Amino acid sequence: MPEARSVAHVLAAHPTAADKEAYKQLATFAARPVAIVAAVQGRWDVAVTVTDFVSVSYDPPTVLVSLFGLSRIADAVVASGRFALSVLAHDQQAVADRLGEPGAPLVGLLDHIPHSRLDERAPALIDGALTWFDLRVAAVHEAATHLLVVGEVTAMRGTPRADARPLVRWRSTYESERIVPGTAG
Amino acid sequence: MPEARSVAHVLAAHPTAADKEAYKQLATFAARPVAIVAAVQGRWDVAVTVTDFVSVSYDPPTVLVSLFGLSRIADAVVASGRFALSVLAHDQQAVADRLGEPGAPLVGLLDHIPHSRLDERAPALIDGALTWFDLRVAAVHEAATHLLVVGEVTAMRGTPRADARPLVRWRSTYESERIVPGTAG
């Protein structure tokens, strides 16, 4: 078993700054879908770019998103008990960039981003997304610096945007990918 | 706000079979990385292909994987308190296919899949993976049909395989993707 040992980085019992930095780089080697999480906080929209979300279950339809615990989006999602997740297409990198910036404005955040809502108080759904989900918070779990927010789908885009490719983040870059059809799995 | 309403599929309070099937299709529109989760159960290796995992935190380095609650891999991970996650490269679709089959054999599961271990009782790390992580189970949460397993990284592949592209699953197909460099995010 020489290969694993020769390339292993063993972390300290209390990970060092170097351990964390090394992990941060390695974590980018998993390709990530890119989405926008949106919620409503009082009169304001809160929306951020995320890559750390998964589909948890079909029964009932359940999604998980990991949010930094001290973020405004985490506050808004937990307080309102509702959020939207819009899965971005390859031609929506500008949206991902804008909502991925630190220090996004409180007012007018979505002024130049076409979006819709299911009702007046609903979180924003990004137009042109591959698909989107409107969710009710079912559970919140703390995990290190983050909150794991489990949401049950209450509504979703029934007709996916089938003419587009996914926006993918890999090795710290937004990638416009061309997909070469593989073998059906 | 006409767009959202016109394409929305609103789920029943108790989702119907049609709701679940529609969600299952829409969920495939999020591109997914492909990885192998491995654990040791007594004398045996258990290993399955997964796409539903995320990096949760850098401090400490923490990963989450969603596993079907009634699966043998979930039993093995929870009982042993340890698992490995190997993030596959584009040229490892055969590994994903083999370990993604229902009814994988108990004996000889990894016979034809090159792998290593960090120690004799450690879970299998897949050779040729983009990167891998050896993890200690920190928490387990139930969510619908699945278990959310939170793991803290104890060791990882310190030298990523930088010559390869990620294996990506999108719309129910394993994709060998060609990535066109985007703008650094």
| pLDDT, tens digit, 9 for 90 and up, residues A143-158 | 999 999 999 999 999 9
Verify whether the Cβ–Cβ distance A52 to B52 is below 8 Å: no
The separation between the first and the last C-alpha atoms of chain B, rounded to the nearest angstrom, is: 30
Mean pLDDT of B61-81: 97
Q: Please state which of the ranges A2-6, A45-49, B114-118, B153-157 shows the lowest mean pLDDT.
A: A2-6
pLDDT confidence of residue A97: 94
Chain B nearest C-alpha distance from A1 (Å): 5
Q: Name the band, by pLDDT with cuts 50, 70 and 90, for residue B99.
A: very high
Closest partner residue to B185 among A29, A97, A125, by Cβ? A97
* Least reliable range by pLDDT among A94-98, B88-92, B105-109: B105-109
Query: B101: closest CA among B155, B63, B47?
Result: B47
Q: Which residues of A141-175 are buried (b: 16+ CB within 10 A; e: fewer)?
A: bebbebbbbbbbbbbbbeebbeebbbbbbbbeebb
Give the DSSP H or E segment for A24.
helix A17-27
Closest partner residue to A31 (CB to CB) among B31, B61, B159 is: B31
Say whether pLDDT at A175 is over 90: no
User: Other CB atoms closer than 10 Å to residue B140's CB: what's the count?
Assistant: 16
Alpha-carbon gap: B71 to the closest alpha carbon of chain A (Å): 14
- Predicted confidence (pLDDT) at residue B171 exceeds the cutoff of 60: yes
Contact flag B175-A154 (C-beta cutoff 8 Å): no
Here the ipTM equals 0.93
Does the distance separating the beta carbons of A160 and B182 come in below 8 Å?
no
Interface test with A, best of B5, B6, B7 (most A CBs within 10 A): B7
- CA-CA distance, A46 to A107, in Å (whole number)? 10
For tokens 């981003």, the residue is A113
**Minimal CA separation from B173 to chain A, in Å:** 5
For the ranges A38-52, B112-126, B170-184, the lowest mean pLDDT is seen at: B170-184
Report the Cα A155 to chain-centroid distance in Å.
Answer: 18
Is B180's pLDDT higher than 90?
no
A54/B59 CB distance under 8 A: no
In Å, how far is A7's CA from the nearest CA of chain B?
Answer: 6
Of B51, B116, B177, the CB nearest to A177: B177
What's the pTM value of the predicted model, to 2 decimals? 0.94
pLDDT tier, B172 (very low <50, low <70, confident <90, very high otherwise): confident
**Among the listed residues A71, A83, A87, A86, the one whose alpha carbon sits nearest the alpha carbon of residue A138:** A83
Q: What is the pLDDT of residues B104-158, one digit of tens each?
A: 888 899 999 999 999 999 999 999 999 999 999 999 999 999 999 999 999 999 9
pLDDT at A68 over 80: yes
Least-confidence region, from B97-111, B147-161, B163-177: B163-177
Residue in chain A lying closest to B27 (CA): A55
All residues of chain B having their beta carbon less than 8 Å from the beta carbon of residue A64 are 54, 64, 66, 143, 148
| pLDDT reading at B183 higher than 60 | no
Q: Which residue has the higher pLDDT, B140 or B176?
A: B140
**Rounded mean pLDDT of chain A?**
92
